Structure 1
Amino acid sequence: MLVLWCPDWPAVAAAMAAGVSAHPPAAVFSANRVVACSVTARSAGVRRGMRRRDAQARCPELVVFGTDDGRDARLFEPVAAAVEELVVGVEVVRPGLVAVPVTGAAGYFGGELSLAELLIDQVASRVGVECQIGVADGLFAATLAAHRSVLVDRGAAREFLAPLDITELDQPDTERAELVDLLRRLGLRTLGAFAELAERDVVSRFGSAGLLAHRLAQGRSERPPHRRRPPPELTVSKEFDPPLDRVDAAAFMAKTLAGRFHAGLAAHGLACTRLGIHAVTERGEELSRVWRCAEPLTPQGIADRVRWQFEGWLKAAPGARPTSGVSRLRLEPEETVAGNSLQLGLWRGGVRGLGEENELAAEKAGRALVRVQGLLGPESVFTAVLDGGRGPAERVRLVPWGDDRSVHSPPEMPWPGRLPAPSPATVFAKALPARVVDSAGAAVETTRQRRLTAPPHEVSVNGAAPQRVLDWAGPWQVSGRWGDGPGACTRIQALLAGEPEVAVLLTLAGQDHPQWTVEGVYD
């Protein structure tokens, strides 16, 4: 297997999309942590997993970008196309990494070294990005060889892997962090030490996930060589009228098609590990790409890869993109493995730890939400994600059903001025105007030290009759981005007299003319 790897691809793609030179230090952040950074950023001390403020403290001139899987896939499609001009059987593992079978191509071009040099020159001249080549037995060993620009002799993968750190098992999209941490605590610091263990002991202690990692550490294929041939009826296709010419519409249709595709595989006890995405445009242009995956694909994983591929096709540079919309899409399982032992964890509704009955209920609810989206559109169903923040309104983010629900701002981070629990039961989309006065009838404001000028005595909400304040708590101060600039506010909780009594969250905001509002109501 030959693997072509573009180092730091998320950072490279972000810089390309923004029209920024690749030379200044740059980093891509998710949830305020570094997920990828450029060589110049690493030379300044920036590392993956580092907090944003720590990264900027080490490198003040750091250019900051956010994660965007669609952007990464769109800009990587020209790289895959450039490789495909020389070698057949290109498989995209993820944006930034492609794999191709090496035997036939190496014989045609005069050896593995000549092929590697030719591919590096091809990508550099056609796309203008740097890449590294690795050759070894199996995708895992070839990927690590690409990280080191090494061509490993046939049959020598185990010797190549043996001295490498055990953390190399935790590659993207594998979810082996817990296993790797456990192996390190057991004293297994290298892949060679792990590979020396007996397979029977590995299975009994670490289960199927440990067995797969053990095979990789031994330089063997991630899956046994005898795979089942996919039955032809597992291929699913769909005609589109009008043709798809927008990525968001294609992504929405991909969810339904991915569900059908996955259900057909599950009915045969199979899981897909190589997905073929084939499209025909309205003018007869044929587009195809194969995505290779280390782990069996879930419905969401299938839909993601279809969306990424459409990003690459429909948003390519003029002259490289299709001249018309996609009128037919076909998903084909290029490779399958038995999925019986993985079904409970993968085929259910994606909610783990709820028990089988509740997981089935979650799956049923998910199908119902997809049905509503099919009737009313993808923006018709939202679910809430709890993010970090200081105020109740900014902590809740609504996400269309089926989209990425990852946390943007971790709630566990320190948030100076955050309200104590519990949060208001009702948070208004538009805060209600209010007037807060003291016992003398004067408006309550804040001093330069950001303290209340007097205890609140009465509150009038939205022009209604004043209500006496029975009790109150606070204030909680939130600074703006720069000192007391935009975003600065003062919050208090107040219990108002009435039948029944009502507790409200009052906010004083505004620079020139501060105004009290009711942001939420407590039960």
Structure 2
Amino acid sequence: MIADAPVRSLVLWFPDWPVTALLHEAAESSPPGRAGPIAVIERNLVVACSAAARAEGVRRGQRRRDAQARCPGLTVVPADPARDHRAFAPLVAAIEERAPGVQLVRPGLCALRARGPARYYGGETEAARMLLETLQRHGLPDVRAGVADGPFTAEQAAKSGATAAEPVCVVPTGGAAGFLAPLSVGVLDASSLGAGAAPSASDDLVGLLARLGVQTLGEFAAMPPDRVRERFGERGLRLHALSGGRDSQPVRPRTPPPELAREVAFEPPLEIADQVAFGMRVTADDFIAGLGAVDLVCTELRVELVGDRGERSERVWLHPGSFDAAAVVDRVRWQLSEEVGAYGGATGERAMLRSGVALVRISPEAVDAASHHAPAIFGGGPEEKVHHALSRVQAMLGHRGVLTPAIGGGRWLIERQVLVPWGDRHAKGPEGLAAQRARPWPGSLPDPLPTTVFAEPVPVDVRALGGELIDVDERGSVSAVPAVLIESGRRRAIRAWAGPWPVVERTWDAARSRLAHRFQVVDADGGAWLLVCEGDAWTAEAVYD
């Protein structure tokens, strides 16, 4: 066999993969339902559409408005390459378990050498059917397979030769040119396995061939190579070889990512948290060593606990630096201690485990290069010393033994003071502090905020010049001009004031509804106060220093 001769290749094609990936993620977050017409749009063009959309006349390459004109009920979704890769990665791993050496071309298309699987499973057709059965068990019944000389021809066999009734198309050895001959030159685009160039270059060449009257791959392959090189250059000569079935591009298998997750099973299941933590020590050491082998450290750790009855508890733990084995064991222990339903006999809402722990799985949610966490040449600085001290105290006292202040969301200043465990960063997710601060919070105090907020509101009196107590009516009007502020028996003349600003909460709940009014007051000594009038009672919420 000469060096440039095509190699028998097996290609798996997942039609309309962006739509499949979208429906797969939607099914994980909500109960699955019947998918309607869906189109995935990129650069205002349809790149993928569902079967229901195709039935209404939607096609790949259509403009968005044309697709919506053909199907008024079309659901338009923007393209998301990250989602496509995320959903496709587990399938590639499943294929590698059956036939190693997979090349991930793009989400929805992968290739591998046919010789090894064919010899192991008794033939090329048998190997392809085995892989399709594996994918069917993962909920993908409409995958097509093509086997031919070279990955380009195998891709066209999967797309053009395979059907829903017969999902495997095998092109005999030496028959690539005859199979490709009737196909349109439009298949020579940059999405093909053998293209390898920018989309604009491929599209321009295909358009030029069409204007020259070359409509099929057979017509293009019949052109003299010297004339093709003279007219189209080396790029055109490469596509000319593909058209004739002379695909010298080999399958380039990917290197599978290392398996960083670790798990330990307990038989019989353990009921005591300290026993589970003790049984995790060797696994935690192996977990950290596995990360170190690829020069990584774990900055966010996912801990999954599985009970004997199948119940699950899952949480992502954060770390101000990076996890070591002891910190991993601590997180497992802390998560177990929070499962009050399993270890305290209570039935709190947070309880997930109702039986003994049968399995613990730890996996890195986020990793970083180990070089970014290497100790300094001349020892750690003040921040590192503080981190080590607080981490040691937290390990002795528990997860909430060391708390740090953070700013959350709310209408009242005391509500915005949130204490979070050391190392936790509540910046992600719908319940994170950043998300809470971004909420509207009607009635909240705008910036600049007071510097001193009282842990408990301080009772005060605000009176008019005549001595009568001031209140606020239903229309938000004060009964008199505030003139005197009395705090802890001390009378302060009010030099300036502003307000009231109402704060209305839970009007739908008679038991917890609240109506209050805020005032800003400056006394004769220059002190600025934030006061609250609720009914006929006055309190000081904060002071502007």
Same fold (TM over 0.5): no
> Considering only CA atoms, is the larger Rg found in Structure 1 or Structure 2?
2
Q: TM-score range by the shorter chain?
A: 0.3 to 0.5
TM score, norm. by length of structure 2: 0.43
> RCO (CA 8 Å, sep 6+): is it higher in 1 or 2?
1
TM score, norm. by length of structure 1: 0.44
